[in-house]
Structure 1
Amino acid sequence: MPVLALALVLPLAACGNDDDGTATGEDAELTVLAAASLTDVFEQLATPFEEEHDATVTFSFGSSTDLAEQVADGAPGDVLATADETSMGLAEDAGVTGAVETFATNVLTIVVPKGNPAGIETLDDLAGATWVRCADEVPCGKVALAVLDANKITAEPASLEEDVRATLDKVVSGEADAGLVYATDAVAAADAVDAIEIPGAEDQITSYYTTTLEQSEDADLAADWVAWVTSEEGRAVLSDAGFGSP
């Protein structure tokens, strides 16, 4: 289903102000803090949402851990979406979340520059190559560690990146022979990279979580965004981007 056509199924929002003073309509603004691996698909999901709600969606993408710590400390925002349960737990423990929903899954893959100049075919080929992955403390780094350990890979990366998009960028720019990123990142950068499937990677599935935030200045609009992302139509967009079902 074309993305623009999906706007027809989004819940309607009235213009003006709600009784509680919450802004809606043409003045509505929504701030979504989301894992870096959601960059492309969330921007795609925003287009019909903005048209239907006469709203502007602003994103802050980055490490799930960093974003969760920020909202736990009271940073402004309406919606949080993380790439692991642990990060979402930081916000939950701080008491700033609404109901938490799982909305997608992902798996790790190897990406190499288009044409694979270093000839990397498996994780074993990372030995002696210039390769990168996410830092240990962020979700994509934790998954990478688990996958590497399961495959008894001891090769050391050339660098540890702050999030999965920074890892992908090192490969796209040619600074690295290979990188460990999510399958969806390989889809998003398909013109610049080739993806190499990791056997058994599905045993280390990444799950994505989303919730509204207590500090939201427009609770209704925030709830509408979560409903859109978790709807059948929203999940179809996620599926086209390479995400699995929760």
Structure 2
Amino acid sequence: MPRSSRAVALAATAALLAGCGSGETPAAPAGSGPEAVTGDVTVFAAASLTEAFTRIGKDFEAANPGTHVRFNFAGSSALAQQINQGAPADVFASAAPTNMKQVTDTGAVTAAPVVFVRNRLEIATPAGNPAKVTGLPDFARQELKIALCAEQVPCGAASKKVFQTAGVTPAPDTLEQDVKAVLSKVSLGEVDAALVYRTDVRAAGNKVTGLPFPEADSAVNDYPVAPVVKAPNVSGARAFIDWVLSDKGRAVLTDAGFAAP
């Protein structure tokens, strides 16, 4: 090797050794491995996702040791309001695009939510259907006790649409702020009939009787999910959404009665 080339090589070696001896670890090249997911992942999710997301959360934690999924289940309108007011959340899963738009319009979540499932309404009665409810026209009967979701939440907006389609003016005795509150009224026998999602009927098991009705096709709800812009755990938010969209996540959602988008 020429003397000049040997000098350059020795100088480069000395510089490398000096860098290693300084205590600094060279950065790993980009894309050299998956981003580690740890810590709490806070998910704000529509009440109708309670059973399915609770299962998905446990599966996610098992696959990602060191993580803990914390859920806030409520009506989508209430969740959107909480996020817009600065509540710390990593993920928002809404039961309708309208409530997701409430947070995309303010810039609180990314502008590209993904629809991951669909859901439709079903009539729910106490087990055995003691009032002999047969369809939507029964919701106009003054002698029956009826529970519906309030219009500002997705199940309430969908209910309003199916009643309009059927030409029925309902006579509700109570308007609840999320679908699980409606379902509770039915399962406890406090009302004769209600409109909930078919996934809620399935989750209630033998506590209620479900009655599908054709007008439900006019108000099928799309469920979008998105990470919150100010997510405390950005990598956790991204990983949780990926899990929901994975084959394992979709299998849980399908088993719960949700339909593919």
The TM-score, its normalising length taken from structure 2, stands at: 0.83
2:87 alignment partner in structure 1: 75
Native 8 Å contact 2:165 2:218 kept in 1: no
1:3 alignment partner in structure 2: none
1:62 alignment partner in structure 2: 74
Q: In the TM superposition, what is the alpha-carbon distance from 1:233 to its structure 2 partner?
A: 2.2
Return the index of the structure with the highest Cα Rg.
2
Residues 1:113 and 2:113 are matched in the alignment:
no
Q: Distance in 1 between matches of 2:91 and 2:221?
A: 20
1:89 maps to which of 96, 101, 105: 101
CA deviation string 1:110-146 (max 9, x = no partner): 0001111111111122213111100011111000000
1:243 alignment partner in structure 2: 258
Q: In the TM superposition, what is the alpha-carbon distance from 1:48 to its structure 2 partner?
A: 1.1
Q: Distance in 2 between matches of 1:218 and 1:227?
A: 14
Residues 1:194 and 2:206 are matched in the alignment:
no
Question: Matched residue of 2:259: which SS?
Answer: coil
Q: Distance in 2 between matches of 1:12 and 1:189?
A: 39
Q: In the TM superposition, what is the alpha-carbon distance from 1:40 to its structure 2 partner?
A: 0.5
Question: Matched residue of 1:116: which SS?
Answer: coil
Residues 1:180 and 2:191 are matched in the alignment:
no
Percent of aligned pairs with the same amino acid:
39
2:114 maps to which of 93, 101, 117: 101
Q: Distance in 2 between matches of 1:64 and 1:181?
A: 15
Residues 1:205 and 2:220 are matched in the alignment:
yes
- What RMSD in Å do the two structures reach over aligned CA positions? 1.4
Question: Matched residue of 1:224: which SS?
Answer: helix
2:135 alignment partner in structure 1: 122
Q: In the TM superposition, what is the alpha-carbon distance from 1:200 to its structure 2 partner?
A: 2.7
Structural mapping, 1:149-164, within 5 Å:
149-164=164-179
Paired amino acid for 2:219? Q
Report how many aligned residue pairs link the two structures.
225
Native 8 Å contact 1:35 1:61 kept in 2: yes
2:55 alignment partner in structure 1: 44
Paired amino acid for 1:222? A
Native 8 Å contact 1:12 1:53 kept in 2: no
Q: In the TM superposition, what is the alpha-carbon distance from 1:235 to its structure 2 partner?
A: 1.1
2:30 alignment partner in structure 1: none
Q: In the TM superposition, what is the alpha-carbon distance from 1:12 to its structure 2 partner?
A: 6.8
Q: In the TM superposition, what is the alpha-carbon distance from 1:232 to its structure 2 partner?
A: 2.3
Paired amino acid for 1:133? L
Q: In the TM superposition, what is the alpha-carbon distance from 1:73 to its structure 2 partner?
A: 1.8
5+ long unaligned stretches in structure 2: 1-32
CA deviation string 1:12-64 (max 9, x = no partner): 763xxxxxxxxx43xx1111001000000000111110111121111101110
Q: Distance in 2 between matches of 1:96 and 1:123?
A: 38
Moved over 2 A (4+): 11-14
Q: Distance in 2 between matches of 1:35 and 1:199?
A: 24
Q: Distance in 2 between matches of 1:34 and 1:155?
A: 28
Native 8 Å contact 1:34 1:62 kept in 2: yes
Q: Distance in 2 between matches of 1:112 and 1:48?
A: 32
